[in-house]
Structure 1
Amino acid sequence: MLYPELFAQLEKARWNMAQDIPWSQFDADKLSEEQAKTIKMNAITEWAALPATEMFLRDNRDDSDFSAFMSIWFYEEQKHALVLMEYLRRFRPELLPSEEELHAVRFEFDPAPQLETLMLHFCGEVRLTQWYRCAADWHQEPVIKHIYKTLSQDEARHGGAYLKYMKRAIERCGNEARAAFAKIGLLMASSARANKPLHPTNLHVNESLFPNDTVQSRLPDPAWLEEWLSRQIHFDDTWEARVVGGILRNLSNLFERPIETIQVLNRYRKELTASLKEPNVVPNPAV
């Protein structure tokens, strides 16, 4: 089981909201109205870990190890929402999300394949790590800068935990897992081609509710994410390259072969797909 090991690792890294956030350093002159509103949107977005956890538990009933890990992931993600809300409660209480605004992002996700969903959320953690690092650079107010740096470090650790479950999946499922990870990795590393930020909170997850079936579509300002990334924190091509590079580097280690570009990943995906359709077809060995 991976859960005991991950519990011990993440427990050592856990931060205390009362003691480890420098609340006394708040500088009101360095927080604009525009910045404060983005904190509210991020707090509500983090609250969407609730329906994601419900999805994971429903779709992984046969995997008690991974389901137990959800107890850590859910706790820490909800804590992210809570620390952002605590910031607003202390310093901009008029922007504190209402219970109705939080509940709006709790809706049922359609069932989805376990392997693809695992990879999707791994990529989401890689991307969110960089989003929060960029947000920390954008903010000038010391307390929120510290909070975003802290959240970024958490998201990076969560990505590492998901990666361990991905390695286990390859040990158990072989090319079926590799093909699923390559497929979703290609999708999530192709934001430029999709012309929108690709993250689990911005993808359609309930056909019966379409088009109001993304987390972002249920925020008080559904257009907020694109505005935050492009005009506010300026998540530009340099930052995007860090996301893509992180996905490809981890897939290289996972597949034990060099995956340096999206094009190489796509070729390997096709090889894997062919090997699953034709058992005698074997992907080319790593070079």
Structure 2
Amino acid sequence: MLYPELFKSLEQVRWNMDKDIPWDKFDASLLTDEQAQTIRMNAITEWSALPATEMFLRDNRGDSDFSAFMSVWFFEEQKHSLVLMEYLRRFRPDMCPTEEELHNVRFEFDPAPPLETLMLHFCGEIRLNHWYRCAADWHTEPVIKQIYKIISQDEARHGGAYLRYMKKALNEVGDKARAAFAKIGVLMASARRTEKPLHPTNLHVNQALFPNDTVQSRLPDPEWLERWLDNQIKFDGEWEKKVVDRILHNMSLLFERTFSNVQELNRYRKEVTQRILPSGAAAA
């Protein structure tokens, strides 16, 4: 069971909203309306940890270890939303999200294979870590710069915890887990080939609600994410390469095989898929 160890390790580095955020360093002259609006959108987006947790608990009823870890992940993710809202409450109360806006991103996700979902969120944590680091560079106001640095570190630690559960899955189900992780890894490391940013909050998750079945589509400004990435924080090809390299590095560690590009990971995916196919299907 990983939960006791993960709880202890995350507890040791947990930050305090009163003591670790330099609220007294706020400089109003360095916060623009444009910047405050992006903070508002991220606060609402982070609130979607609530439906994601409901999904994880529903789809992992057979895994009490992982479900217990969700208590830590959910607490820390909701804290991200809370600290962003606290920033706005203190310094731009007119920009604070309403309870209705927060509740609008709480909707049911369709059931999905737990292994694929685990890998999807592992990649999502890597991507969000880099998005927030880039956002910290873009902002000019010192308090929000520090907030983004702090929560980006949380996202990196969450990715590490997910990786531990992925290693556990390899030991328990072998090639089935390898195939699932490699498949999603190829998808999430191929973001440059897609029009939309590849992150769990920007993927369709409820067929009955399509097309309003992504978290981003349910925000007050559904188009903000692309604008934030492309025109504001300028998450460019250099940043995207960092995300892809990090995914490939972790896949190399996980599968004990070096992947220098997405094509090599895709070839590995095909190898594993062939191994788990019935003999007749593999021959065909």
Question: Is residue 156 from structure 1 mapped to residue 147 from structure 2 by the alignment?
Answer: no
Counterpart residue type for residue 206 of structure 1: N
Distance, in Å, in 2 between the alignment partners of 1:104 and 1:134 is 27
Aligned to 2:177: 177
Structure 1 residue 247 corresponds to structure 2 residue 247:
yes
For residue 196 of structure 1, report the CA deviation from its aligned partner.
1.9
Distance 1:245 1:239 in 2: 10
Letter in 1 for 2:166: M
Give deviations 1:209-231, integer Å, cap 9, x for gaps: 00000000000000000000000
Answer yes or no: is the 8 Å Cα contact 1:186–1:262 preserved in 2: yes
- Does structure 2 retain, via aligned residues, the 8 Å contact 1:130–1:152? yes
User: Whole-Å Cα distance in 1 between the matches of residues 12 and 121 of structure 2?
Assistant: 23
1:205-284 → structure 2 map (5 Å cutoff): 205-278=205-278
Report the Cα offset of residue 141 of structure 1: 0.3
Deviation at 1:260, TM superposition (A): 1.1
1:19 aligned partner, one-letter code: K
Q: Distance in 1 between matches of 2:279 and 2:6?
A: 35
Distance in 2 (alpha carbons) for counterparts of 1:145 and 1:168: 36
Q: Deviations over 1:42-99 (max 9, x none)?
A: 0000000000000000000010000000000000000000000000000000000000
Q: Aligned equivalents of 1:67 and 1:280: distance in 2?
A: 37
Question: Where does residue 107 of structure 1 map in the other structure?
Answer: 107
Distance 2:21 2:277 in 1: 53
Task: Find the aligned partners of 2:209 and 2:278 in 1 and give their Cα distance.
Answer: 37
- Aligned-pair CA distance for 1:5: 0.3
On the 8 A contact 1:275/1:281 being kept in 2, the answer is no
Alignment of 1:63-212 (within 5 A): 63-212=63-212
Where structure 2 has 5 or more consecutive residues not aligned to the other structure, the ranges are none
Read off the aligned partner of 2:180 and give its amino acid letter.
A
- CA shift for structure 1 position 281: 11
For residue 208 of structure 2, what is the amino acid of its counterpart? S
Q: Secondary structure at the match of 2:38?
A: helix
State the partner residue of 1:7: 7
Could you say which residue in structure 1 is the equivalent of 2:51? 51
Which amino acid in the other structure matches residue 122 of structure 2? Answer: F
Shift of residue 195, structure 1, vs aligned partner: 2.3
Give the match's secondary structure for 2:111: coil
- What TM-score, normalized by structure 1, do the two folds share? 0.97
- Cα deviations by residue, 1:247-279 (Å, 9 ceiling, x for unpaired): 000000000001110000111111111111146
Q: Spell out, residue by residue over 1:16-38, the C-alpha distance to the aligned partner (whole angstroms, 9 max, x if none).
A: 00010000000001111000000
Which stretch of structure 1 is more off in the superposition, 148-157 or 191-200? 191-200
TM-score (norm 2): 0.98
Contact residue 40 and residue 84 of structure 1 kept, 8 A: yes
- State the one-letter code of the partner of 2:271: E
Q: Is the 8 A contact 1:43 1:85 kept in 2?
A: yes
- SS of equivalent to 2:97: coil
The verdict on how the C-alpha distance between 1:23 and 1:60 changes in structure 2, with shifts beyond 3 A counting, is same
Q: For residues 109-154 of structure 1, give each alpha carbon's deviation from its aligned partner in whole angstroms, at most 9, with x where no partner exists.
A: 0000010000000000000000000000000100000000000000
Separation (CA, whole Å) in 2 of partners of 1:39 and 1:103 = 17
Distance in 2 separating the partners of 1:245 and 1:85 = 32
**Rounded Cα–Cα distance in structure 2 between residues aligned with 1:195 and 1:107:** 24
CA RMSD of aligned residues (A): 1.2
- Inter-partner Cα distance in structure 2 for 1:263 and 1:280: 27
Task: Report the counterpart of residue 18 of structure 2 in structure 1.
Answer: 18
